[in-house]
Structure 1
Amino acid sequence: MESKSKYFLEKNFIIYLIGKIASVGFSFASIPLFIKYFGIADFGRFSLLYTTFLMFLSGTTGWINQGVLRFHSMERDREAFSSEILFLTVKSAIFSNILLAGVFWYNNANLSTIILAVLAFFFACLFGVYTTELQARFKSRIVILSDILRLSCYFFIPLLIHFIKPDVLPEIAIFTGILVSFFVSFLMINDWKLPVLNRSLNRAPKWSRKIWEYGSPMSIWMFLAPTLNTSDRYLISFFLGSAVLGQYSALYDVIFKLFPQLTGPFYNIIHPMLISSHNKGDVQEFNKIMKRSSVYLMVMFIGLFLIIYLFKSFIINNYLGFSKEDTAKLEETVVPLLLGSFFWQISFLMQKRLEIANKTRFMALAMFISVSIGLLVSIYFVPKFGYLASAYSTLFSGLIYIGIITRFKFREWIQWVN
């Protein structure tokens, strides 16, 4: 079992990593091209709307995704389980869409953008939950292929719309790409069929209550996790303007997307493996998966840190296309953003034992405290120090979160590592 588990982890990680390398190209190529063709101010406004979109998406499907990963291996009737999950997803998406539309309207998004965002959000919810179920079944190939398709649509369609009809508002062009990307990729993982709500299964809901009790605190956690980034963007936009927001958002997205793109394959693989080993009561396998994953994360971060730090001027000045004056200012945020990205990613691994132990309410409380403190820091310092304060508040809140979830009991941390 040990050898099989080891090679299973590495094999599936390689599959995910190869796919991520392909998909990450579209993700990172979109940043400088969207800035070039849509303008830095419009890119900043879009980043604000899209971050809000992703925050709602995390809160809407997070509890369902966690429930799928936690209980999928315990259910033999996969058809009934999938049908029950679909009902939960649709109901949750409809409720959240109403709130999302209200937030977009409050941010002066036009009607076309709101409609596109609402439709995209619905299929994004379906896509997220369906891919989570595929991950729980270790279907890594179809997951990564659908992700490549999604990001390629997100990359090409807005640019195609811009070249065909340049007068289309940038946010409409980009959200059209987002809608098509989630719709087509969802069809792909669902055998090119639309979802069907099947009530012919003659049994009462079996997992809905358990998933809600287990996952609802995680949904709060996932809603809060991007809140600091979202609120910081609102603060930067309010105090410094959309153009400055666009500059910070571009660099933030490069750093905070790159490391998760590398760590994503691990979390896609190790979470269902950890759940499976826990459900089987295999403590030895659980601990070995955790140890190998922590080593891999550390190695990846060191390599990433060195590359971005050594080439930070090239990335900001040449890749993103900012002036030398702006480059000098943005360079100051590179180290705190890199460290913040690392501490947040390592915390996601450190909290796995809490997730397994159903300590999700404690995790949600820890996230609320750390984000609240980070938000207060940003509110006070962003008007004085600009986006540099935002970068440090992200790092600071990550350290606070790690401190809370470990409860400052370093003996437990040492025991976990060993």
Structure 2
Amino acid sequence: MEKKKAKISIPVGFKSAIVYLFATVFTRGLAIISTPIFTRIMTTDQVGMVNLYSSWYSMITVVSTLALTSGGFSIALREFEKERDQYVSSVLSLTSIVAIGVALLYFVAPSFWNNITGLPTHLMILLLIGLLVAPARDFWLSRQRFEYRYKLSGTMTTLSAVVASGLAVAAVLYANNVDFSDIASVRLFANYSIVYGVALIIWFSIFIKGRCFYSPKYWKFSLQLSLPLIGYSIASQILNVSDRLMISKMVGNSAVGVYSTLYTVSSLSLMVWTAINASFEPYLYQNMENPKSKIKKLSMSMLGMYSLVAILLVYLAPEIVRILATKEYYKGIYIMPPIAGGVYFIAVSNLYSDILVYLKKTKMVMISSAIAAALNVVLNYIMINAYGYMAAAYTTLISYIVMALLLSIWANREFKKYITEIDFVYDNKLISVISILTLVISLFAILIYNYAIVRYAIAMCVFVATALYGVYYLKGNENLKKNKV
């Protein structure tokens, strides 16, 4: 008799990683596809206003969510494994109370806050709505990733991105045809009506399912982990957006439009890291103390592949900018290598901060990011005044390097104190080598941007290396594939 062929079973952890990677890349891809439309219809001032809104939202949401959507959320899901519905409902009520408090604070003196943020009242109201409902979406997606329930979340993420991007493009085109002046607001309202609408549905569903609005046990556990992370999250956001906020005040929104657009292009590689790390993090937390785990191999494969993607992006930067933007943006192309280098060190920081979160040493995470953020603000003030807004790219790079170094030192020290079964989960020497090479190769691109053939040759080599490294990563992913919640 003919033997039946064995059915190949693809583990759920691996499926989840692939789906989240696709959803993230697809979502960011839509943003990139729509960029040429916006940069050709909207002025740099209008693009600057859109990015100013995003920057302030990122800053304020850190406080309003109490950093409850940070790494401590995964720790809590493991701690309250049989009470997850109640736990999520409880912490969502906490973020909702804070969001309402922020809204009341705004409406006491709206003109005062409008002057500080540079945003008009209608955009501030849109921002406040987001502060209330968006945490529900973040909690839900984080839980889906933790539990490797990828089908519904992947579909929802993809579809909502398609509808939001499509509606934003259509609304901007229509507003331009009828000569409507405030195109920035049209774009923001069109996009976020979908994003916040989906979040509102999830907001209600979490409360209906969990039916737990207050729990001292859940609140105490979460706040002990998250409160120190508020400082970290605020500092991280200062690192991420202070350059744009300071450029807006010191130079103008037109400069913000150029800088932020090129910053977005330079950080495209981060979407690859974000997607991969989102699936790796649960495995890391569940196997941190397992001597037989493949954490070291997986993490170094991830970082190496991400490094290659970041370098490839830098060497193709001139072509990417020509496709996505107009000549107004070309003058800022030389800031892309240092920005890409800084973004790479975000990934390095993530690796080490995850360890400190696991060990519940979140104060160290906060201190390191606060030092880097303070350094960034001081350097921005000095360098932007002296050399113009492009200097902010280099100050941001320096600050991210400092944060990564501090986190690596403290993570190694604390790990050795509490976990003695293994030396360390990461290969520190290899991380150092990859980091130095990434930085040197990225900055070298500045010297050869005008030599297309040389750039293409290097880009081709990096592309081949990325493909080979990607295959190696997938083949070495056996432990992650087998891991199930």
Identity of paired residues, percent? 18
Structure 2 contact 137–199 (Cα < 8 Å) conserved: yes
Aligned to 1:239: 250
Change in CA separation of 1:24 and 1:108 when aligned onto 2, cut-off 3 Å: closer
Displacement of 1:93: 2.4
The answer to whether 1:155 aligns with 2:165 is yes
Conserved 8 A contact 1:150-1:184: no
Q: Where do residues 258-407 of structure 1 align in structure 2 (5 Å cutoff)?
A: 258-278=268-288, 282-285=290-293, 288-306=294-312, 308-323=313-328, 327=330, 329-407=331-409
* 1:110 shift after superposition: 2.6
Secondary structure in 1 matching 2:327: coil
2: CA distance between counterparts of 1:15 and 1:293?
Answer: 19
Counterpart in the other structure of 1:83: 89
**Partner Cα separation in structure 1 for residue 223 and residue 358 of structure 2:** 15
Distance 2:411 2:199 in 1: 43
Give 2:15's aligned amino acid.
K
What per-residue deviation string (whole Å, max 9, x for no partner) do you get for residues 162-201 of structure 1?
33344162232122134323234336757xx555468966
Cα–Cα, structure 1 residues 259 and 99, in superposed 2: closer, same or farther, change >3 Å? farther
Question: How far does the alpha carbon of each residue in 1:32-51 deviate from its partner, in whole angstroms, 9 at most, with x for none?
Answer: 32222221111112211211
Q: Kindly provide the CA deviation profile for residues 64-100 of structure 1, in whole angstroms up to 9, marking residues without a partner as x.
A: 2233211112221233223212222212322344567
Give the Cα–Cα distance (whole angstroms) in 2 for the partners of residues 204 and 311 of structure 1.
52
Correspondence for 2:47: 43
Offset, 1:254: 1.4
Change (3 A) 1:130 1:290: farther
Deviation at 1:343, TM superposition (A): 0.8
- TM, length-normalised to structure 2: 0.75
Q: Give the AA of the match of 2:397.
A: L
How many residues were matched structurally?
402
1:112-170 Cα deviation digits (max 9, x unpaired)? 22222222332212211221222222222333322223332432223322333441622
Q: Give yes or no for the alignment of 1:28 onto 2:1.
A: no
How many Å separate the matches in 2 of 1:85 and 1:234?
30
RMSD, aligned α-carbons = 2.9
Query: Is 1:173 paired with 2:183?
Result: no
Q: Relative to structure 1, is the Cα distance of residues 188 and 143 closer, same or farther in structure 2, using a 3 angstrom cutoff?
A: farther
Residues 79-88 or 105-114, more deviating: 105-114
| Structure of greater Rg | 2
The separation in 2 between residues aligned to 1:297 and 1:100, in whole angstroms, is 42
Cα displacement (A) at 1:283: 4.8
Distance of 2:24 and 2:209 partners within structure 1: 34
Q: 1:201 to 1:240 in 2, by over 3 A?
A: closer
Unaligned runs of 5+ in 2: 1-9, 417-422, 428-485
* CA deviation string 1:361-389 (max 9, x = no partner): 11101100011011111100112222321
Deviations along 1:224-261, whole A, 9 cap, x unmatched? 202133221122223322212211110101122x1221
- Residue type at the aligned position of 1:322: K
Write the distance in 2 (CA, Å) between the matches of 1:224 and 1:70: 22
Quote the offset at 1:345 in angstroms: 1.6
Alignment partners' CA distance in 1, 2:314 and 2:212: 56
Q: Aligned with 2:247: secondary structure? A: helix
TM-score norm. by structure 1 comes to 0.86
C-alpha distance in 1 between matches for 2:213 and 2:321: 58
Q: Which moved more, 1:351-360 or 1:20-29?
A: 20-29
1:85 counterpart letter in structure 2: V
8 Å contact kept, 2:85–2:210:
no
Alpha-carbon offset, residue 348 of structure 1:
0.6
Go from structure 1 to structure 2 and tell me whether the alpha carbon gap of 1:208 and 1:416 turns closer, same or farther (over 3 Å shift).
same
Residue identity matched to 2:89 = S
**Counterpart in the other structure of 2:456:** none
Partner letter of residue 38 of structure 2? F
Q: How far apart, in 1, do the equivalents of 2:136 and 2:379 lie?
A: 36
TM superposition shift of 1:16: 1.3
SS for the counterpart of 2:391 is helix
Contact preservation (8 Å) 2:356, 2:411? no
Q: Which residue of 1 aligns with 2:79?
A: 74
| Partner in structure 2 of residue 417 of structure 1 | 426
- Does the aligned pair in 2 maintain the 1:127–1:182 contact within 8 Å? no
Higher mean displacement: 25-34 or 260-269: 25-34
SS in 2 for 1:112: helix
Cα distance, 1:196–1:378 mapped onto 2, change above 3 Å: same
Cα gap change, 1:270/1:322 in structure 2, threshold over 3 Å: closer, same or farther?
Answer: same
> In 2 relative to 1, CA 410–125 (structure 1 residues): closer, same or farther, beyond 3 Å?
closer
In 2, Cα distance between equivalents of 1:340 and 1:55 = 19
Distance in structure 2 (CA, Å) of the matches to 1:254 and 1:62: 29
The whole-number CA distance in structure 1 between the counterparts of 2:100 and 2:292 is 42
- Out of 164, 179, 183, the residue aligned to residue 174 of structure 2 is 164
Match of 2:144 among 134, 140, 159: 134
The residue aligned with 2:229 is 218
2:65 is paired with a residue of what secondary structure? helix
